[in-house]
Chain A
Amino acid sequence: MTEKIGGRLIKFGDNVNTDVIIPGRYLVSIDPQELAKHAFEPMGTEVQKRLWSSQVVVGGKNFGCGSAREQAASCLIGCGIKAVVAKSFSRVFFRNCINTGLPAVECSEAAEAALDGGELWIDLEQGMVEVQGESFSFASYPESLKQILEAGGLIPYLAKYVLPQQEALKRHTPELSRR
């Protein structure tokens, strides 16, 4: 993960909730592309158009508050968003980002400095955000979360690392597999 991720940013305020990010009526789908069409729909088509041409979402404090819907993260992936940077996140939204492979970076200074429509770049390995010609550091992820992000989310991570081990364990301990 030495490459920087980022690009054009779209900036929102404090307490952006999940019902605004993806309204409940669209949760019948789990397809990120389909969900992307309705991301931020309550804010109107102008906001949506700018979202679709952005690579980074910047939020204020408590970004993603509200429901546990995982689609609040996956709809952003469908929009082509590479990372979310905010002053702070609601806990379920943060988990859903990591678990769907979308980097969520808590960096108050960067979120403050970011200007709507400007550019923002993140170096996950170094724990740095570059925005408006300034660099800001953020606390890097614990190793366990880093592995999930690198695998592209929780399910790919399990399929790649955890399930093969469980299978191997079962092959060597037949009494376990009979339970």
Chain B
Amino acid sequence: MGKAFAEKVLARAAGLSDVRPGEIVDVYPDLYMSHMASWRCIRTLEKMGTDKLYDPERIAMVMDHISPARIAKTADDQRLCREFAVRKGINKFYDVEAGIAHVVLMEAGHIRPGMVVIGTDSHSTIYGALGALGTGVGFSEITAAWVTGKLWMKVPESIKVIIEGPLARGTSSKDVMLKLIGDLTADGATYCSVEFHGSYVERLSISDRMTLCNLAMELGAKNAFVRPDEITRSYLGERGVPPGQYTEIHPDPDPVYVKSVTIDGRSLVPQIACPHTVDNVKPIDQVAGTKVNQVFVGSCANAKYEDLVEAARILKGRKIAPGVRLLVSPASKEIVARTVKDGTYSILLEAGALITNPGCSACAGDGGVMADGEVTLSTANRNFQGRMGSYNAEIYLGSPAVAAATAVRGVITDPREFL
């Protein structure tokens, strides 16, 4: 019997010839990402009474979640990180203008196939889009890795998700994932490595692979994975990372999967996750017509360049409904630059969008919050109670196309009406 991706990559990072699902091993991750939590790591390091770092080159810090600072305490925390990075020679430091950590690090070429990456953010599963194992941990664990270089990990079992394409008109990677989460529920992949296979995935852009791997977290997954291929190599090549600088790890032809699930994208319809859980998923016709106060296009799930272009395709030449707020928060500075250059930015502005600086924005409750009784249609990955302001507000999740169509009509709208 062969090995799944997670077993092979964890064996490599643990320096072992063979590991099995369920085994607990000491792993030496290749990169430790910390975002807003970085200051907590630094304070924890001070408490440990040491300042010796295992390898500063493996530390990556991105000042997202709250950017720029809104209160003096946050400004102070961010200063602590900035000064620490200079003092310790941390080269992979990205300040408040950069954007959302995951997207920033992938764009910068820091995430490569075959790596093990830990991050102080649950959506670190996104790194599977480039063939790496990414997983979320607490800030104490990042601090521990700074000092010791290692952390304990349970080798996960693997689930195979086969997505057959091409996707039906008006649907996207977001709809695929919402359908999957609705079917398998929020703990459908707890502690498992989710591998995406099938004809749809093979031709997929890195942007859509990010959406798949990011949302796998909402199944409870430990990590997610898309097999690296020419598309991966060309994405990295454009970012100054030639194939000689990484070693791809592929699953064997015959691994043991605990579960195998097939999604037929050819018959998919747009999907909506209803309040207050991500697995409360319904086909769009069951919720179409629900009035919204705000539409949010943002987050590490769906505020990439391709997502903004998709929204702009529907918003071009149209205006958003009166009384509705359309908040667009691009995932990174690079994305802002690209949309400015190709005119996407102007299309969104002219339609009536409020375009914020790049960052987590409303998904982290950093601006764009709701009043009591309000409703937002969001392209983010979570709709938990209270995540965007009032505890008595509601969040619906959908694709960028659904968001754009909804902004135009002021009620949840099937994007196929505009295509």
Contacts and interface: CB of A to CB of B under 8 A. Distances in A.
A18 B277 CA distance: 12
A18 B136 CA distance: 14
Interface residues of B, number: 47
B74 A15 contact: no
A91 interface: yes
A24 B35 CA distance: 14
Contacts of B277: 15, 17
Contacts of A65: 186-187, 220
A142 B26 CA distance: 13
A153 B49 CA distance: 16
B222 A91 contact: yes
Contacts of B365: 23-25
B24 A142 contact: yes
A162 B187 CA distance: 34
Contacts of A54: none
B40 interface: yes
A132 interface: no
B369 to A, nearest CB: 9
Contacts of A69: 37, 138
Given A90-B187, A90-B220, A91-B222, A100 B384 contact: no
Interface string A84-101: 000010111001100110
Contacts of B143: 155
A163 B384 contact: no
B43 interface: yes
Given A19-B382, A66-B122, A90-B220, A159 B49 contact: yes
Given A20-B384, A144-B24, A163-B50, A92 B74 contact: no
A158 B49 CA distance: 11
Contacts of B119: 68
B304 to A, nearest CB: 21
A88 to B, nearest CB: 7
Given A153-B140, A154-B141, A61 B386 contact: no
A27 interface: yes
Q: Name, among A92, A99, A100, A153, the residue most crowded by chain B CB atoms within 10 Å (CB to CB).
A: A92
Interface in B374-392: 382, 384-387, 391
A23 B191 CA distance: 24
Nearest to A23: B386
A67 B381 CA distance: 11
B385 A20 contact: yes
Interface in A76-118: 88, 90-92, 95-96, 99-100
B148 interface: yes
Interface string A26-53: 0110100000000001100000000000
B74 A28 contact: yes
A70 B139 contact: yes
Given A15-B277, A95-B138, A163-B48, A68 B120 contact: yes
Contacts of B52: 166
B355 interface: no
A62 interface: yes
A145 interface: yes
Nearest to B122: A68
B191 A92 contact: no
A24 B140 CA distance: 18
A96 B121 CA distance: 12
A162 B145 CA distance: 12
A28 B121 CA distance: 15
B136 A68 contact: yes
Nearest to A15: B186
Contact of B190 (A23, A24, A90, A99): A90
Interface string B285-312: 0000000000000000000000000000
Contacts of B44: 155
B73 interface: yes
Nearest to A177: B52
B219 to A, nearest CB: 10
B147 A158 contact: yes
Nearest to B279: A15
Contacts of A99: 138, 140-141
Given A28-B73, A68-B137, A70-B139, 16 more contacts: A15-B279, A19-B385, A20-B386, A23-B387, A25-B365, A41-B391, A42-B385, A62-B187, A65-B220, A73-B138, A92-B122, A92-B138, A96-B138, A144-B24, A154-B141, A155-B144
9 contacts: A18-B384, A19-B384, A24-B387, A28-B74, A28-B77, A62-B190, A70-B138, A100-B140, A158-B148
Interface of B: 24, 36-37, 40, 43-44, 47-50, 52, 71, 73-74, 77, 119-122, 124, 136-141, 143-144, 147-148, 152, 186-187, 190-191, 220, 222, 277, 279, 364-365, 382, 384-387, 391
Interface of A: 15, 17-20, 23-25, 27-28, 30, 41-42, 61-62, 65-70, 73, 88, 90-92, 95-96, 99-100, 142, 144-145, 153-155, 158-159, 162-163, 166
